[in-house]
A and B are shown apart, each in its own frame.
Chain A
Amino acid sequence: MVNVTIQDFSYAPTKKSGLILDHVNAQINSQQFTLLTGPSGGGKSTLLKFIAGLYPKYAHLALSGQILLNQQNMTDLNRNAVTKMVGMVFQDPDQQFAMDTVQNEIIFILENLQTDPNQIDKILQQVLDFCGIEELKHHSINTLSGGEKQKLALACVLAMDVELIILDEPFANVDPAARLDLINKLKDLQLHHHKTIIVCDHDLNGYENIVDTVLYLDGQSHQLNTLNPTQIHSLFASFKNATNSKLAINLPNKHQSAILELTDFKLQTADKILLALDNFKFYAHQTTLITGANGIGKSTLFKALVKLTNFQGSILFNQVNINKIKPIKYAQQVSLLFQNSEDQFLEITVQEELELSKKMRQNSAFSEDAIQAALEDLNLAHLLKRNVYNLSGGQKKKLQILLMLIMNPPVLLLDEPFSGLDLESLKVVIRLLQTAKLKFNQTQIIISHQLTNLDQLVDLHVQFSQQTLNYLEVL
């Protein structure tokens, strides 16, 4: 059994910045399912890394108070002891593996724990089966989708046989079905395998009736509150109000003009065909939402549209084959908001990034005043001097979106633009996208698993399934 006690704990990422955890207290009991939630940039990931014992080795400075694992101060425990108790699944599916294949990663873990070699095959089989990724055993980790990587990350933690499993936004890139499946698996681990689970998530879908405790990290007061049942109830209720159920949506009509047209189009990886289309059109001045299961090839489709990956057939942009357009011209016409925010950054500070966008943009549709207002609304205005790489996940995402909206390309592809955003930021981002479409005539194509509040923005809905794309009448 593992009890976590957070006592009077404070932390500031640098000497100059303010506290992001201000003398917080909490108690997490053994074999409980705890949900940690709150606005983005509030320090949730940081707190989780402290509980996992990964800080302060990898970050530093200014902390008061302590975190106790079973009444023992974390800083007094050696790394080995912590490893045997706590396992962590990280936010970014790309950055938690050291080896080449699924099988080798799990073997690496088991060897680290000095598992008897005769037991390794058995454990390997068990954890892969539990997570439903048996068929991926020999696959290279580089070829897995985001959701598959998160299942592997969970399998890794299970292989370690730790009692406390910490998951930091584990489902940000996972489709709703796989998400529910994984949440249920976590519950199963808690109830039948005596695990203690701590999950951090903005998206509250699927957690009601599953969680025992909800901790809310307030971004303003930097306090950590343990919610009582009434508060938990109203938290889920307000989230549900914001989440739309099946809504009717229009199909494209004859009067709409195509801006991107795919003909005899085929997209494949080394071992499977992802997409095969005779003819498909994306329409101008619309916001099109693409949904589909993880790993089906949505991000790969975007990569093909911006020529980051090879494809067969042709893509026409305003009736011109994109291979005939100069790369820089095309990139400025059809731009991608990368799933990983850092890929978008070219400079060092927030200010420099904003200056670059303002200097290089093709049009000044987004006025100076509007930029200032957006910075305020997105809560970024006080961060101008900050290094972009040191922002929180949510702050990076908001800055990235703003940079690309300032560029204001005619077509903007957005790959999971809402992941890691709290409800307030989400509303602001949706309003900004709305303006770009209605006032600046932008065409937007969005991949998102998170559908909250999207009904206000989305005009067309495309479902990606069974290697094809289809317009749907519901959202």
Chain B
Amino acid sequence: MNPGLKLILMIILVLEISFIENLSLNVIIIIICLIYLLKKRPSSKQLVGLFLGPLIPAVGIFLSQMFYGNGGSLLAGVFATRIYAYVFLGACFTFSTNMTDLMKALEQSFHVPAKFVYGILSAFNLLPKVIQQIKVIRTASLMRGVKINFWSPKIYFKAILSALQWSQNLAEAMESHGFVEDQPRSQYHPIRLTQRDWSQFFAILVVFQGLVLILNSKFL
């Protein structure tokens, strides 16, 4: 599906489950997402992370609802599974979409201005550099006899300074490579928004609403 449309679909689904208090719905979403994810063959490390990552907030919200809330264990279960549903929906999205395609789709089909699209993309490409830079900052300071930890203001000062420098250089680089704000660009690899994308989009939404209706009439 067109990555931009997929993002919108995800946002709609996430918003909907935020307002619907239904345990079965959350569980069904988690199972469907898990099946989808398994088809994408994630590494075992990624899978473990998916289950363990949300564990603390999920348990936390469960316990606080159990002991301090007035909705009882059913509502506590809804809140806890909701966190997992969010994470699994998000994972389905990130596992099936690459950043460049998403940004290009937003540019081409959803009229997001090119300066945001390429600004975000190039910032994204800077990430490995940021990580390496933090190592360099720490080593450089050790060589000057100064030990800086992750909570030292100096590391942030240097990192921000590097970021400012990079952002100016990036702007110069983009401009010297012919990028001009608000000027039309051609597309080497057009990302289309097809009939098929739209039908998938509506099909999933309709099925989802059906599911919500059935589950709500039965259990509430």
Contact = CB atoms under 8 A, between A and B. Distances in A.
23 contacts: A58-B171, A83-B175, A90-B172, A90-B173, A94-B129, A96-B169, A96-B172, A98-B173, A98-B177, A99-B122, A100-B125, A107-B188, A109-B177, A117-B187, A117-B189, A141-B125, A142-B125, A344-B140, A346-B144, A346-B154, A360-B144, A389-B161, A407-B145
Contacts of B158: 346
Given A58-B171, A344-B140, A142 B128 contact: yes
B188 A99 contact: no
Interface stretch (A12-20, A324-332, A451-459): A324-332
A80 B173 CA distance: 15
Say whether chain B's binding surface is mostly helix, strand, loop, or mixed. helix
A2 B72 CA distance: 78
B129 A142 contact: yes
B31 interface: no
B126 to A, nearest CB: 9
Interface string A94-127: 1111111000110111111111110010000000
Contacts of A52: 176
Contacts of B161: 389
B143 A409 contact: yes
Contacts of B188: 107, 110-111, 117, 120
Interface in B144-169: 144-147, 154, 158, 161-162, 165-166, 168-169
Interface residues of B, number: 46
A26 interface: no
A100 to B, nearest CB: 5
Given A83-B175, A331-B139, A336-B139, 17 more contacts: A54-B172, A54-B175, A58-B171, A80-B180, A90-B172, A90-B173, A95-B172, A95-B173, A97-B173, A99-B122, A104-B100, A113-B186, A117-B188, A141-B125, A335-B143, A343-B136, A360-B144
Nearest to B125: A100
Interface in A190-212: none
B175 A79 contact: yes
Contact of A332 (B125, B135, B145, B171): B145
Interface of B: 100, 118, 121-122, 125, 128-129, 135-137, 139-147, 154, 158, 161-162, 165-166, 168-180, 183-190
A113 B178 contact: yes
A115 B186 CA distance: 6
A106 B90 CA distance: 32
B14 to A, nearest CB: 28
B146 A346 contact: yes
Contacts of A315: none
List 6 tightest A-B contacts by C-beta distance, closest first. A360-B145, A331-B142, A112-B178, A95-B169, A335-B143, A98-B122
A147 interface: no
A156 B177 contact: yes
Contact of B100 (A83, A88, A100, A111): A100
A154 interface: no
A58 B168 contact: yes
Given A346-B141, A362-B145, A308 B135 contact: yes
A373 interface: no
A336 B135 contact: no
A98 B145 contact: no
Given A99-B121, A115-B186, A342-B165, A328 B176 contact: no
A59 B187 CA distance: 32
Contacts of B128: 142
B170 A95 contact: yes
B183 A356 contact: no
A360 B177 contact: no
A160 interface: yes
Contact of B185 (A94, A111, A328): A111
A100 B129 CA distance: 12
Contact of A108 (B144, B176, B177, B184): B177
B125 A361 contact: no
A356 B144 contact: yes
Nearest to A331: B142
A306 B178 contact: no
Nearest to B118: A98
A174 B195 CA distance: 52
A281 interface: no
Nearest to B154: A346
Contacts of A392: none
A96 B175 CA distance: 10
A357 interface: yes
Interface in A22-81: 52, 54, 58, 79-80
